[in-house]
């Protein structure tokens, strides 16, 4: 078991990549705490993960809620060993249609949410603690209609380097896992029509060298590597899980 007796916080752990990571971390011996905002998804995640896990309603856009959740976890579990800062969402719009509200919404969840999760959790991580951040293939590509989502992920890639430099003296590692297109509910929340979604899906499958969407479990396995002692000399980097999309 790679995470025996570890306490692992997975934000956005009620669906897709986060839920698969929570299941895998649990299988590897961790006590997992997942967060999300939708009660039905929290209930379903709690059912799937069972009594040893905790599902907390925490809006990652609100630093006060993150702070409260971290305090609660530390009070109940004594510490946090692993943080998978994964919660994220996007909204598609061409340059001319992007509004200040859309920029604020995407940065407050994807960047600020991850930043404050790291800021508030880091003081409680022991030496050997690990943080994993979900970035995206979008931080390497120019994808029409996804300027703001892509920028939030590029900002996270940068944060992993700076936070890595700040936390390394305490023996805490921080890395990113960068998914390519993964089959999760994420895409249905981008605000695209069914036809736009179908067209984009077909174009993505054609563009990915391995000719398919990835599975959430495939990203979860990379997150497990980065969270575990298998990656004990790995910090500040990004593991790309994208079927070759950005590399070939
Ligand atoms: N799927 C892909 O193709 C892909 C590609 C590259 C990167 N990613 C990244 O992978 C991460 C996970 O996405 P996914 O594909 O697994 O999507 P998903 O299935 O939609 O899962 C997103 C998770 O984030 C949670 N979440 C959303 N808003 C939140 C908020 N304000 N506070 C706390 N939690 C919130 C969701 O729960 P609630 O909605 O109930 O709050 C859910 O648990 C995201 O950061 C995404 O940008 C995905």
Mean pLDDT in each 10-residue stretch from start to end of the chain (248 residues)? Answer: 98 98 98 98 98 97 98 96 98 98 98 98 98 98 97 98 98 98 96 94 96 98 99 98 97
**Is 154 a domain residue?**
yes
In 3D, which of 171, 243, 162 has the Cα closest to residue 209?
A: 243
Whole-number pLDDT of residue 16: 98
**Is 247 a domain residue?**
no
Give the Å distance between the CA of 85 and the centre of ligand 1. 10
Check if 89 has its Cβ closer than 6 Å to any atom of ligand 1: yes
Whole-number pLDDT of residue 230: 98
Domain assignment of residue 14, given as a range: 7-241
Whole-number pLDDT of residue 117: 98
**Is 143 a domain residue?**
yes
Whole-number pLDDT of residue 227: 99
Residue 150 sits at φ, ψ, to 5 deg, of: -60, -40
Whole-number pLDDT of residue 46: 98
Check if 213 has its Cβ closer than 6 Å to any atom of ligand 1: no
**Is 246 a domain residue?**
no
Residue nearest ligand 1's atom 23 by CA: 12
Whole-number pLDDT of residue 14: 98
**Is 248 a domain residue?**
no
**Is 1 a domain residue?**
no
Check if 118 has its Cβ closer than 6 Å to any atom of ligand 1: no
Q: In what order do the strands lie in the sheet with 82-85?
A: 54-57, 31-36, 7-10, 82-85, 130-134, 173-179, 238-241
**Is 53 a domain residue?**
yes
Helix (H, G, I), strand (E, B) or coil at 217: helix
CATH of residue 233's domain is 3.40.50.720
Whole-number pLDDT of residue 54: 97
Give the count of domains, the chain: 1
């Amino acid at each position: 078991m790679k995470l025996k007796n570890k306490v692992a916080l997975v934000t956005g752990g009620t669906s897709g990549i986060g839920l698969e990571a929570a299941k895998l971390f649990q299988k590897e011996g961790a006590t997992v705490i997942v967060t999300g905002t939708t009660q039905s998804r929290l209930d379903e995640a709690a059912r799937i993960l069972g009594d040893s896990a905790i599902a907390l309603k925490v809006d990652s856009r609100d630093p006060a809620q993150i702070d409260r959740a971290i305090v609660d976890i530390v009070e109940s579990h004594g510490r946090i060993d692993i943080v998978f800062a994964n919660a994220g969402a996007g909204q598609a719009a061409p340059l001319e249609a992007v509004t200040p509200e859309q920029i604020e919404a995407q940065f407050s969840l994807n960047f600020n949410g991850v930043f404050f999760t790291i800021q508030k959790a880091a003081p409680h991580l022991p030496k050997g603690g690990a943080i994993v951040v979900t970035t995206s293939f979008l931080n390497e590509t120019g994808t029409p209609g996804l300027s703001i989502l892509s920028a939030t992920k590029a900002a996270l890639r940068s944060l992993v380097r700076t936070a890595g430099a700040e936390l390394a003296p305490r023996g805490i590692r921080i890395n990113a896992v960068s998914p390519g297109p993964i089959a999760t509910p994420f895409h249905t929340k981008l605000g695209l029509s069914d036809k736009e979604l179908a067209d984009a899906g077909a174009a993505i499958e054609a563009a990915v060298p391995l000719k398919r969407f990835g599975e959430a479990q495939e990203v979860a396995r990379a997150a497990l590597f980065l969270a575990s002692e298998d990656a004990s000399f790995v910090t500040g980097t990004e593991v790309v899980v994208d079927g070759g999309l950005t590399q070939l």
